[in-house]
């Protein structure tokens, strides 16, 4: 017999079933709460609310575990490419060699963007924020591909998925090159998916470009680490927009806008801004570590600790090594990156930070890598979006295939009672 939870209200007892996931997570099924009791729950930010059942990503913040479709993030970063992980998230299993070859062929066929999209790009001033540009370009894809996805047709759904996987890296690179004032690059279909991303971002018109294996490896890991993260703000946005039966492109565009916020995808951007501020004040890392310990000091140490991972961020351990490799490979002399290394050393040896488990997180190290690669600070969140794309696609697809109802949260009204004029 399944377990139940009892609720007593106005001397009457109600029972609600207890659900259990495959990792023994438990939740109370309150679908009938309002119908039975007239009550709703109040949970600002949905911190205690399971909005869906999902087979995609398992996250245990207390134990520092992150798995995609059952595979640990450590194994995937060591043994898989970003495109393989994208396939895993979207289709449920790691691809065979034949499946991966087919996916690459399909993506190469779609690796063109309608030239009229350039008109949208040109209409933005150079000062426009890259996330606004990327969101608009993604929405623009709808105009050039107006038919909605028939979710019951596997071929229609796959076509939309391939189209987005092929064109989104191009739009991301165009956004980057708009910021840098560089001519636009097109996809090079002779390259791997990951090498092609580096090619479109970094190739200059007056010289050949061959990406460093260390740089491509670091980009590959960063994209994998950001590929999905359970029901976060942008993913929940993609699902709730899609629950209205809005199309895949429109739903992803909404997710981009959600990711833009400094409390979500903008965190690595804020890390670099903090490092710049420390540099402008003389670069004394010990001084700022003391400020971080002072409860009365308004200074906040960005890029340390995580609101979900209570012990350590498993992604940070992986990307720290990649950050060290990139800095050694490129031999960059940058005072801001020196400050970052100084803060890291202090935090990893200071009992105050060790006892509170305030370790550098993925935002700290990803910011360092992007800066070392010459990616402008305002472009960091675009790179985050590029990594998160497979997760958004997978979550949207799962929601639609499960025929989930339209998202419609309730509220507790606290305004005026009935008034007359």
What positions carry a catalytic annotation?
306, 363
Contact yes or no for 222/216 (Cβ under 8 A): no
What distance in Å separates the CA atoms of residue 295 and residue 318, rounded to the nearest whole number? Answer: 31
Beta bridge partners of 60: 65
Q: How far apart are CA 166 and CA 171, in angstroms?
A: 10
Sign of dihedral through CA atoms 69, 73, 74, 76?
Answer: positive
H or E stretch at 68: strand 65-68
Strand partners, 360: 304
Compute the distance between CA of residue 103 and CA of residue 116 in angstroms, rounded to an integer.
26
SS3 291: helix
- Spatial CB neighbours of 211, under 8 Å, sequence gap ≥ 6: 195, 198, 199, 202
Q: What 8-state DSSP symbol labels residue 82?
A: H
Return the number of other C-beta atoms located less than 10 Å from residue 259's C-beta: 26
- Distance CA(50)–CA(62), nearest Å, equals 18
Q: Which residues of 140-156 are buried (b: 16+ CB within 10 A; e: fewer)?
A: bbbeebeeebebeeeee
**Cβ–Cβ under 8 Å, residues 27 and 50:** yes
CB 339, CB 301: distance < 8 Å: no
Of 171, 114, 174, 112, nearest to 144 by C-alpha is 114
| Rounded-to-integer distance, Cα 117 and Cα 171, Å | 9
Q: Is there a contact between 121 and 174 (Cβ–Cβ < 8 Å)?
A: yes
First to last CA, the chain: 57
Q: Give the angle subtended at the CA of 389 by the CAs of 86 and 114, to the nearest 5°.
A: 110
> 84 Cβ partners below 8 Å, 6+ apart?
94, 95, 100
């Amino acid at each position: 017999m399944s377990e139940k939870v009892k609720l007593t209200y106005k001397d009457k007892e109600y029972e609600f079933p207890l659900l259990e996931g495959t990792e023994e997570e438990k939740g109370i099924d309150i679908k009938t709460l309002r119908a039975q009791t007239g009550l709703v729950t109040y949970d600002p930010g949905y911190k205690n609310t399971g909005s869906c059942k999902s087979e995609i990503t398992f996250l245990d913040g207390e134990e520092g575990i992150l798995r995609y479709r059952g595979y640990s993030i450590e194994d995937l970063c060591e043994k898989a490419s970003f495109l393989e992980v994208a396939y895993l998230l979207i289709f449920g299993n790691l691809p065979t060699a034949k499946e991966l070859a087919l996916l690459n062929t399909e993506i190469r066929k779609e690796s063109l963007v309608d030239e009229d999209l350039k008109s949208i790009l040109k209409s933005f001033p150079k000062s426009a924020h890259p996330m606004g540009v990327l969101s608009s370009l993604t929405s623009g894809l709808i105009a050039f591909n107006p038919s909605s996805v028939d979710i019951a047709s596997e071929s229609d759904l796959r076509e939309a998925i391939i189209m987005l996987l092929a064109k989104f890296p191009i739009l991301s690179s165009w956004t980057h090159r708009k910021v840098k004032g560089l001519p636009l690059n097109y996809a090079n279909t002779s390259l791997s998916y990951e090498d092609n991303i580096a090619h479109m971002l970094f190739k200059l018109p007056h010289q050949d470009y061959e990406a460093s294996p260390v740089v491509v490896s670091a980009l590959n890991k960063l994209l994998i680490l950001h590929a999905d993260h359970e029901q976060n703000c942008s993913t929940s946005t993609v699902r709730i927009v899609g629950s209205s039966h809005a199309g895949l492109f429109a739903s992803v565009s909404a997710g981009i806008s959600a990711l833009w916020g400094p409390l979500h995808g903008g965190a690595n951007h804020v890390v670099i801004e903090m490092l710049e501020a420390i540099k402008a004040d003389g670069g004394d890392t010990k001084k700022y570590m003391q400020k971080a310990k002072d409860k009365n000091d308004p200074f906040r140490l960005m890029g340390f600790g995580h609101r979900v991972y209570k012990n350590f961020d498993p992604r940070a351990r992986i990307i720290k090594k990649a950050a060290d490799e990139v800095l050694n490979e490129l031999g960059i002399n940058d005072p801001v990156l020196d400050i970052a290394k100084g803060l890291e050393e202090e935090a990893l040896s200071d009992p105050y930070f060790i006892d509170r488990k305030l370790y550098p997180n993925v935002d700290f190290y990803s910011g360092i890598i992007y800066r070392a690669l010459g990616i402008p600070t305002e472009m960091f969140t675009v790179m985050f979006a590029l990594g998160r794309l497979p997760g958004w696609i997978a979550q949207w697809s799962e929601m639609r295939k499960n025929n989930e109802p339209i998202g419609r949260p309730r509220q507790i009204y606290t305004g005026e009672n009935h008034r007359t004029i």
